[in-house]
């Protein structure tokens, strides 16, 4: 028999908020995690994005705190990016709408003055990024002595972004007697080590194989020789495929994101496409996400900084314009589509230098991504000399990382050039003409 939210003995305020949010039945991660959290146990949750994990810990927190009390934080939720912090704040406010719980979110990109004023008024739940929390705590604006529950969300991303020193500082300044909740999309070695130090006899809940894309996402892979051909292939999807109703295009760098955005801007205009990356100001980033969320634009071009900070329903397609170098980001990217049991499609463009990463992605997700031929209507461009050289260097570097003894084609060429230069210098010094190796062989 399937569970309902009433089975968890939530109070009327929480159940009313759940009904307003349109949730009918709890997701698997909610069914597995919520009883343990409500019972006060430490929990390690392995769940990919789009599985309802935010509600899995926020609903029990609201139920446990019940109402506003004192002025200091009682629940602390730490997230790796400002986008995710904003998303969690929206969810907490939605679920706590029928309570008087006070919610504050702290993150960079905005001046701290307003955030400090909010802290002074008193709060119950604090959502924060590690850096901003550390800064305001050291300045004496945050008191942690009343803290009861500490949540680390997207722990694997925090490890990847190098937040371990800040996490350790947070763990040093919170009460030892507290409930700990750690959520991660993957169970990497770093996350495992963190969980051992952070959690006490935790209940581990896992809703699918680690780093496995949702079954509702169809995956496609195209081997594409160069950047311009990727643009030509993208053009076919955005212009000719009527099923592409709401699309996120992921790029590995801000430069690529800007170039793709400018191309799409020429094809359409700002009423169809927005761009999101770290060089954009905070307000611009929030406006871009909201425009996409509210269906004011149908295409969003983004770097991985936004991969886990976008909680948008009905995204029909994700296109990986570039294969991510951090292979775990592949799962987070394609998790933007196929959410809430809706069907979605994830399409990846792969150039020769990205083939190593796509093979590692396949090992991670334990799947072979189906390969499709580039449609005949797509013009396959000649790879320019500079891009060809860049791709070759990248492949050489990959081989060196995999095999330290590998010297590489560029190393060989460099060695030959150095030898020729040395011979010319010696000949100049001795007054003799250098003899090529081929002539020496003939003698």
- pLDDT for position 426: 61
Residue 297: closest CA among 319, 274, 276: 274
- pLDDT for position 304: 77
CA atoms within 13 A on the CB side of 234: 28
- pLDDT for position 249: 95
Within-domain flag for 58: yes
Name the residue range of residue 409's domain: 385-427
Within-domain flag for 437: no
Task: State pLDDT tens for residues 186-223.
Answer: 777 888 888 888 888 999 998 864 556 767 899 999 99
The residues of the chain scoring below 70 in pLDDT are: 1-2, 49-50, 208-212, 214, 278-282, 305-310, 340-341, 402-443
The answer on 124 and 88 residing in a single domain is yes
The answer on 288 and 226 residing in a single domain is yes
- pLDDT for position 442: 46
- pLDDT for position 158: 87
Within-domain flag for 300: yes
Run of H or E including 172 = helix 164-173
Report angle CA 31, 85, 170 to the nearest 5 degrees.
Answer: 90
The answer on 420 and 360 residing in a single domain is no
- pLDDT for position 326: 73
- pLDDT for position 337: 86
The answer on 236 and 185 residing in a single domain is no
Within-domain flag for 211: no
Within-domain flag for 90: yes
Longest CA pairwise span in the chain (Å): 98
The answer on 78 and 67 residing in a single domain is yes
One-character DSSP codes across 286-319: HHHHHHHHTTS-SEEEE-GGGTTT---TT--EEE
Domain count, the chain: 3
- pLDDT for position 409: 58
The answer on 152 and 22 residing in a single domain is yes
The answer on 334 and 390 residing in a single domain is no
Strand order, beta sheet including 247-250: 217-223, 344-350, 317-320, 247-250, 299-302, 273-276
- pLDDT for position 433: 59
Decide: 165 and 28 in contact? Cβ < 8 Å.
Answer: no
- pLDDT for position 419: 58
Residue 320 maps to which CATH number?
3.40.50.300
- pLDDT for position 420: 65
- pLDDT for position 149: 97
The answer on 397 and 288 residing in a single domain is no
- pLDDT for position 324: 87
The answer on 395 and 296 residing in a single domain is no
The answer on 239 and 168 residing in a single domain is no
Q: Tell me how far apart the alpha carbons of residues 406 and 404 are, in angstroms, rounded to a whole number.
A: 6
Q: Tell me how far apart the alpha carbons of residues 400 and 397 are, in angstroms, rounded to a whole number.
A: 5
- pLDDT for position 443: 47
- Cβ atoms within 10 Å, residue 213: 24
- pLDDT for position 438: 46
Domain finish residue from 206, 226, 254: 206
The answer on 91 and 43 residing in a single domain is yes
- pLDDT for position 340: 67
């Amino acid at each position: 028999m399937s569970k309902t939210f009433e089975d968890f003995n939530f109070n009327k305020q929480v159940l009313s908020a759940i009904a307003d949010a349109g949730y009918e039945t709890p997701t698997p991660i909610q069914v597995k995690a919520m009883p343990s959290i409500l019972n006060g146990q430490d929990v390690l949750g392995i769940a990919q994005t789009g599985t309802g994990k935010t509600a899995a810990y926020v609903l029990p927190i609201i139920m446990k705190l019940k109402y506003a009390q004192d002025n200091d934080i009682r629940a602390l939720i730490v997230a790796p990016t400002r986008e995710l912090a904003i998303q969690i704040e929206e969810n907490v406010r939605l679920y706590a709408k029928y309570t008087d719980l006070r919610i504050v979110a702290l993150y960079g990109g905005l001046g701290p003055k307003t955030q400090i004023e909010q802290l002074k008024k008193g709060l119950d739940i604090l959502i924060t990024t590690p850096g901003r929390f550390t800064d305001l705590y050291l300045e004496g604006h945050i008191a942690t002595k009343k803290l009861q529950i500490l949540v680390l969300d997207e722990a694997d991303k925090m490890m990847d972004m190098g937040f371990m020193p800040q996490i350790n500082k947070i763990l040093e300044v919170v009460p030892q007697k507290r409930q700990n909740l750690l959520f991660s999309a993957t169970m990497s070695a770093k996350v495992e080590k963190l969980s051992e130090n952070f959690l006490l006899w935790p209940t581990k809940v896992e809703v699918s194989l680690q780093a496995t894309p949702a079954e509702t996402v169809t995956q496609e892979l195209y081997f594409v020789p160069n950047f311009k051909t990727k643009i030509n292939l993208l053009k076919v999807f955005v212009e000719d495929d009527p099923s592409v109703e709401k699309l996120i295009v992921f790029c590995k760098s801000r430069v690529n994101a800007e170039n793709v955005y400018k191309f799409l801007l020429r094809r359409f205009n700002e009423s169809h496409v927005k761009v999101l990356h770290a060089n954009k100001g905070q307000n611009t980033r929030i406006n871009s996400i909201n425009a996409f969320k509210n269906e004011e634009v149908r295409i969003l071009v983004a770097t991985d900084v936004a991969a886990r900070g976008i909680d948008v329903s009905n995204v029909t397609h994700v296109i990986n314009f570039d294969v991510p170098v951090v292979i775990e980001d592949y799962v987070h990217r394609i998790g933007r589509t196929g959410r809430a049991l809706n069907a979605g499609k994830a399409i990846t463009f792969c150039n020769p230098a990205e083939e190593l990463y796509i093979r590692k992605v396949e090992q991670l997700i334990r799947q072979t991504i189906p390969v499709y031929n580039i449609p005949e209507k797509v013009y396959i461009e000649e790879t320019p000399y500079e891009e060809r050289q860049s791709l070759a260097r990248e492949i050489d570097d990959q081989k060196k990382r995999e095999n330290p003894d590998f010297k590489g084609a560029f190393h060989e060429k460099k060695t030959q050039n150095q030898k020729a230069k040395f011979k010319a210098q010696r000949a100049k010094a001795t007054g003799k003409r250098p003899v090529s190796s081929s002539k020496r062989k003939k003698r």
